[in-house]
Amino acid sequence: MTIQSLFKQRSSIHFKQLSRYMKYVLNDHFVLALLLILGAAGFGYSNYVQTIEQGAILPRLILLILMVGVVAGGTITTLMQQADIAFLLPLESEVIPVLKKGVLKSLLILAFPVAFVSAAAMPLLVATQGISFNVWPLFLVTSVLFKYIDLNFQFMSFFQSDVVKRGLYTHAGKIISLLGFTLSIFVELSIGLIFSLTIILIQFIYSKKMNQASNRLQWNDVIAKEENRQQKLYRFINLFTEVSFVESHPRRLKWLDKIIEFQSGKFPQPHYFYILRSFYRNPSYSGLVSRLVLIGVLLISFSTTIVLNLMLSVLFLYLIGFQLMPIYQQFKQNFYFQLYPIQETGKIKSIQRLITEVLAVVLVIFTLTGLARDIYSGASILLVGIIFILLFTRLYLPKRLKRMEQF
Amino acid sequence: MSLQIQLVTGGYTRRPILKEVSFDVSDGELVGLIGLNGAGKSTTIKHIMGLLEPFEGNITLNGKTINEDSIEYRKNIGFVPETPVLYDEMTLKEHIEITAMAYGIEKEMAFKRAEPLLSLFRLKDRLEWFPSDFSKGMKQKVMIVCAFLIEPSLYVIDEPFLGLDPLAIRDLLKLMEERKQAGASILMSTHVLTNAEKICDSFVILHDGKVFAKGNLKELQLEFQMPGASLDEIYGRLADEEGFAV
C-alpha cells in the first residue's frame, strides 16, 4: 500500500458513489423541470438582452456578481478523512503532493460550470461592449484562470496555522476574481486576461518561496473543509434520494423563535412541534425553500405572459413541495419517535400541515409578484395556486409519504 | 528527557485556550493529564501532536521540536484519540498495513508486533472485518493495537477507558505498564481517577487552560495537606474549593 494507491482507491470509491447517486438526481421529474426552467430562463434572457443598450451598467453589474459567484463556488477535492489524523500524520510530506494534484483535478471539474456561465454571459457582453461573439475563448480562458487562482489560494490556506490568515487565503481568490472580472466586464476582456496571468505568475513565485519556509499542513482544517464540501454535495443529493451520511448542523436562528412559537400554537402535536423546528433551523430545508422562492420570484417577474407566469408559479410550488418531502426522514432518524406513546398517523399529518403552510406563504409571495404587473396575473396565480396546493397536499403527498415509509 | 512542554500558550483561534502550560514526561514515566471537560486536555494533546501551533512556548520530543524534523517527531508518537476514528472502507488488517506504511515499519514486522496485541484484545479472528462495524469498545481496541504496534518512544493516549470492557481495561493497564518498563514515556488523559491513580507515576492537573498542580500522589497530598487521601478525594476537594464545578 502506498499513499498514492490509497488516495486513488478513495477517489474511485467517491466517484462511484457520486455516479450512483447522480442517477437518482437526474430523474425524469427533475430533468423535465430543469429543461423547463432553462427554457423559460433562456427565453426571458434573450428578450432581456434585446432591450439592453451598449454601455449599460446595471446588466454588467449583475453579470459581475454572477461570474464572481460561479468562480467562488467549489473547493478542492482532497478526500481527506478524520482517521488520517490518527494514521497518516508521519506521511505529511507525501500527502502534500497528493493534495497539490487535487488542485488540478478539481479545476478540471469546476471549470465546467465556469465555462457554461461564461458562455451564457456572452450575449450580454456582446450587447454592452459592442464586441463580437468570436472573443468568447478569451473570456472563457480568463474565467477558468480565475478559478485556478482561487483553488491555488485555497491550497495555500491549508498551511496557515493562524485562523485569520487562513481565512484570508481561503477567500483571497474571490476578491481577486472580483477585481479581475470588473476589468474584464467594464474595461476590456484582454485587460482582465492580462490581470489573471499576472496574478498566476505572482502566485507561482510566492508558492516557491512558501515551500522553502516549510509550513506545516493544518490537518484539522483540511479535513473539516473536505467534510464540509462532501456534506454540501450530499445534502443536495439528499433532496432527491436518501443519503445515509448527511449530517445537518442546525442553526438556532433566534429571530425565528416568535414565528415558530406562533406557528406551533398553544397545544402542538409532538410530530408537528419537532418537524416545524427541523424545518426552520436546518438550513438544508429552509435554505432550499428560500433559494427556490427567490429564483421563482425573479423568473415570474421577468416572464412576459400570463400563461408563462402560471406555469412558473405552479412549477415552483411543485418543486418546493416535492423537495421538502424528504423532511419526513427526520422522523426516521429520531429515535424518540419510536418510543413516544403517540399515534403514528401524526407523522404524515404534520408533514401535510407544514408543507401546506409553507406553500401557502410561497403562494402569497408569488401572487404579490404577479400583482406587481397587473391584477389579472395576481388573481390567476392565486386561484391556480390554491387548487394546486390542495391537490398536492391532500392527494399526492399522503401517497408519496406512505411509499417512502416502506423503504 | 522525552517530552518537554515549556510555557505553551495556544488554541484554535487567536484566543488562547492554554496559558503557559509547562510539564515534562520523562523516559519510562507515565503521566496522567487530569482536568474537567473543557480544561484544555485535548487542546494540549493537539499541540503535542503538531495539529495546532503554539502561539508561544515550545514543545520538544527527544530534544527536537516538530519544526526541526516533523517526520522524525511524528514517527516517535503513538496516538490513541479520544473517539476512535477508523476508515470505513478498510478492514482491520488493512488498518495495520496502513499504520505500518505510515510509520515506516516492515509489513511482516508490523504483523509480528500486532499478533500478541490482537490476541490480547480478542481481535485475532476479525482481521478481515471492517472495524467501522465494530462496537465502540472494539473500535477503541483497534486504535490501541495500531498505536502500540508502532512501538514509539512516546504514547499519547486520550481517555482510553470509556467503552472498554473490564477485561480490556485490565489488559490495557498491563500493556502500558510493560511499555513503561521498556523505557517509553506515556501521557494519558483521563477522567477515571481510580485507574489513573493505580498506574500513573505523576499527574498534571489542568484547569481553565493552566497547570493547576503537578507532581506524584505524595507531592499532591503534601501540597494540599491531605495525607493518605486518594486522587479522587484530592481532586474533589480541589474542585470544591476552587469552584471548578461551577
How do the pLDDT tens digits run along chain B, 246 residues long?
589 999 999 998 889 999 999 999 999 999 999 988 888 999 999 999 999 999 999 999 999 999 888 888 999 999 999 889 998 888 899 999 999 988 989 999 999 999 999 999 999 999 999 888 899 899 999 999 999 999 999 999 999 988 899 999 999 999 999 999 999 999 999 988 888 998 999 999 998 899 988 999 999 999 888 888 898 888 888 777 766 654
Report the amino acid identity of residue A215: N
pLDDT band at A146 (very low <50, low <70, confident <90, very high): very high
Cα separation, B95 vs B145, whole angstroms? 10
**A6·B66 Cβ contact <8 A:** no
Cα separation, B124 vs B117, whole angstroms? 9
B82 touches chain A (CB under 8 A): no
Confidence at residue A282, expressed as pLDDT on a 0 to 100 scale: 80
pLDDT (average), residues A259-284: 82
Strands of the sheet with B56-61, listed across from one edge: B18-25, B3-10, B56-61
Three-class secondary structure of residue B45 per DSSP: helix
C-beta neighbour count of B173 within 10 angstroms: 15
| Cell reading at A85 | 489524523
Q: Which residues pair with B79 in a beta bridge?
A: B156
**B50·A216 Cβ contact <8 A:** yes
**B87·A81 Cβ contact <8 A:** yes
**A219·B95 Cβ contact <8 A:** no
What pLDDT, in 10s, does the model give residues A82-100? 999 999 999 998 999 999 9
DSSP state letters, B124-136: GGGTTS-GGGS-H
| Cell reading at B76 | 516517535
The number of residues in chain A equals: 407
- Lookup result for grid cell 510555557: B7
**B99·A87 Cβ contact <8 A:** yes
Angle of helix B92-102 versus helix B107-120 axis, rounded to 10:
130
pLDDT (average), residues A201-210: 87
Confidence at residue A211, expressed as pLDDT on a 0 to 100 scale: 67
Q: Which residues pair with B60 in a beta bridge?
A: B4
Angle of helix A28-50 versus helix A92-129 axis, rounded to 10:
40
Cα separation, A167 vs A81, whole angstroms? 21
Confidence at residue B246, expressed as pLDDT on a 0 to 100 scale: 44
Angle of helix A375-390 versus helix A346-373 axis, rounded to 10:
170
- Enter the DSSP assignment of A135: G
Higher pLDDT, B3 or A343: B3
**A9·B89 Cβ contact <8 A:** yes
Distances (CA, A) of A373 to A294, A366, A369: 17, 11, 7
DSSP state letters, A222-235: HHHHHHHHHHHHHH
pLDDT at A112 over 80: yes
Cβ(A184)–Cβ(A175) under 8 Å?
Answer: no
Any residues with CB less than 8 A from the CB of A224 and at least 6 apart, and which? Answer: none
B75 touches chain A (CB under 8 A): yes
**B101·A163 Cβ contact <8 A:** no
Cα separation, B188 vs B199, whole angstroms? 10
H or E stretch covering B79: strand B77-80
| H-assigned helices in A84-188 | 84-87, 92-129, 136-157, 163-182
C-beta neighbour count of A137 within 10 angstroms: 9
Cα separation, B80 vs B157, whole angstroms? 5
H or E stretch covering B196: helix B193-199
Confidence at residue A242, expressed as pLDDT on a 0 to 100 scale: 63
Cα separation, A291 vs A320, whole angstroms? 10
| Cell reading at A19 | 455516479
Chain A partners of B51 at a C-beta cutoff of 8 Å?
Answer: 85, 218-220
What pLDDT, in 10s, does the model give residues A305-327? 788 888 889 989 998 998 888 88
Chain A partners of B103 at a C-beta cutoff of 8 Å?
Answer: 90
B95 touches chain A (CB under 8 A): yes
Distances (CA, A) of B171 to A118, B160, B177: 64, 12, 10
pTM for this predicted structure? 0.78
Closest CA–CA distance from residue B136 to any residue of chain A (Å): 15
B15 touches chain A (CB under 8 A): no
Any residues with CB less than 8 A from the CB of B9 and at least 6 apart, and which? Answer: B16, B18, B19, B20, B21, B54, B55, B56, B57
What is the residue-averaged pLDDT of chain A?
87
**Closest in B50, B79, B104 to A86, CB measured:** B79
Q: How many angstroms separate the most distant Cα atoms in chain B?
A: 54
Best of A12, A14, A81, A87 to mutate (most B CBs within 10 Å, chain B):
A87
Cα separation, A155 vs A82, whole angstroms? 19
Angle at B205 between CA B199 and CA B209, to 5 degrees: 140
Percentages of chain A per state (helix, strand, coil), in multiples of 5 = 80, 0, 20
Chain B partners of A83 at a C-beta cutoff of 8 Å?
Answer: 85-87
What pLDDT, in 10s, does the model give residues A370-388? 998 888 889 999 999 999 9
Confidence at residue A296, expressed as pLDDT on a 0 to 100 scale: 87
- Residue pairs between chains A and B whose CB atoms are closer than 8 Å: 70
Tell which B residues from 182 to 241 touch A, by Cβ distance under 8 Å: none
Confidence at residue B58, expressed as pLDDT on a 0 to 100 scale: 92
Cα separation, A39 vs A45, whole angstroms? 10
**Closest in B13, B75, B98 to A87, CB measured:** B98
Cβ(A347)–Cβ(A328) under 8 Å?
Answer: yes
**Closest in B53, B104, B143 to A86, CB measured:** B143
Confidence at residue B48, expressed as pLDDT on a 0 to 100 scale: 94
Confidence at residue A406, expressed as pLDDT on a 0 to 100 scale: 66
Distances (CA, A) of A369 to A58, A59, A314, A322, A384: 21, 21, 14, 22, 15
Chain B partners of A85 at a C-beta cutoff of 8 Å?
Answer: 49, 51, 81, 85
B12 touches chain A (CB under 8 A): yes
pLDDT band at A407 (very low <50, low <70, confident <90, very high): low
